[in-house]
Structure 1
Amino acid sequence: MYELKETDLTKEAYIQLLERLFDRCDTVSFAELPKKMMGQKQTLHWLLQELEPYLQGIVYDNGTKANLFDANVSVPNYYYRICLDSKQLIMQAAENLFYWQQPELPEDLSFMRKEEEYFVTNAHEGYAMLFADDKQLIELGGTLWSRIK
């Protein structure tokens, strides 16, 4: 497993990182935290509506892919099929991997391949984890990965 901190990813590398993840993975996901947790009044309907044709399912859990909460908290985690259109919507939504946090965007953009976690972010904490030995990502210019466990 590898970790990428917010300070170890350049803006230019973000686009290349996403391109690689979209090429390697088949599902993208993120969560919508309860509004009371985030102190927000608006919902994220604009992005959810745009991505609806690619929705594979919503799983309610007690957290995001990278962040667990109390057992009594129910968080919808949205799973979308990766295709050209869903890729374009997600790539246009943010200019930085760590902008994927509420209230502007859903929480913790993550990628899966064959139902296995491939790449998971914890945007509020400023780090991401790569669960695959993806040499192309690890050696991507503008990134500095740390090997962990």
Structure 2
Amino acid sequence: MNKTEYWDLSTNPTDETYHSLIKVLCDHSDTFYFITRKELSYDQDVLAEFDPHIIETYQTKEWANTITMGPPATVYLMKANEQTSKLLQHHANGLYDWIAPKLPEDLTFIKNSFTWFTSTTHEEFGGFSIRSDYYRKLIHTVPGLKVQRIELE
């Protein structure tokens, strides 16, 4: 396989499907990020729980699937590991729960500098960019995950 395939989520992964998805994403990623926006509020106690795992934070107007005309967002880039997997599972019961005012937004997972899973939670969108048979098979190991391949012209 030498070109990228795109697979979109057909439904919001919730409950056990969400927990399994997060485990697979964290187990097979080096890093992930979420964002906060200056004009929205978030639960600062939740953000503080992720502090020990932050690699860096930075401001940007452009991140996976999004370009904002408003103020820049803050990106929290962190290690994907067992501890962060448990935090992501603990604080939400579905992918699209990652939204203000409680939680940061737009979970995005990266392996070897390649962004292989993105979400835009306000729009209830999530999807995979797959470059290998291994990762294609991997997304089909998540029980109950509904995805559909997107054919680009």
**Which bin holds the TM-score, normalised by the shorter protein?**
0.7 to 0.9
Which residue does 2:18 correspond to in 1? Answer: 14
Residue identity matched to 1:33: R
Indicate the RMSD between aligned Cα atoms, in angstroms.
Answer: 1.8
> 2:32 aligned to 10, 16, 28, which one?
28
Q: Does the aligned pair in 2 maintain the 1:6–1:98 contact within 8 Å?
A: no
1:124–1:140 CA distance, 2 compared to 1 (3 A):
same
1:99–1:10 CA distance, 2 compared to 1 (3 A):
closer
Q: Does the aligned pair in 1 maintain the 2:29–2:110 contact within 8 Å?
A: yes
Once the two structures are aligned, what percentage of the paired residues are identical? 23
State the shift of 1:139 in Å: 5.1
> 1:112 aligned to 110, 131, 135, which one?
110
- Of 16-25 and 129-138, the range deviating more from structure 2: 129-138
Normalized against structure 1, the TM-score is what? 0.85
Q: Does the aligned pair in 2 maintain the 1:64–1:108 contact within 8 Å?
A: no
Which residue does 2:7 correspond to in 1? Answer: 2
Structure 2: stretches of 5+ with no match in the other structure: 1-5
Q: Is residue 49 of structure 2 the alignment partner of residue 45 of structure 1?
A: no
Normalized against structure 2, the TM-score is what? 0.83
Residues 88-103 of structure 1: pairs in structure 2 closer than 5 A = 88-103=86-101
Q: Does the aligned pair in 1 maintain the 2:35–2:104 contact within 8 Å?
A: yes
1:61–1:21 CA distance, 2 compared to 1 (3 A):
same
1:12–1:87 CA distance, 2 compared to 1 (3 A):
closer
Write the distance in 2 (CA, Å) between the matches of 1:116 and 1:57: 17
- Of 114-123 and 9-18, the range deviating more from structure 2: 9-18
Residue identity matched to 1:117: T
Write the distance in 2 (CA, Å) between the matches of 1:24 and 1:58: 22
State the shift of 1:5 in Å: 3.1
Q: Does the aligned pair in 1 maintain the 2:14–2:93 contact within 8 Å?
A: no
Which residue does 2:3 correspond to in 1? Answer: none
Question: When the two structures are aligned, how many residues end up with a matched partner?
Answer: 142
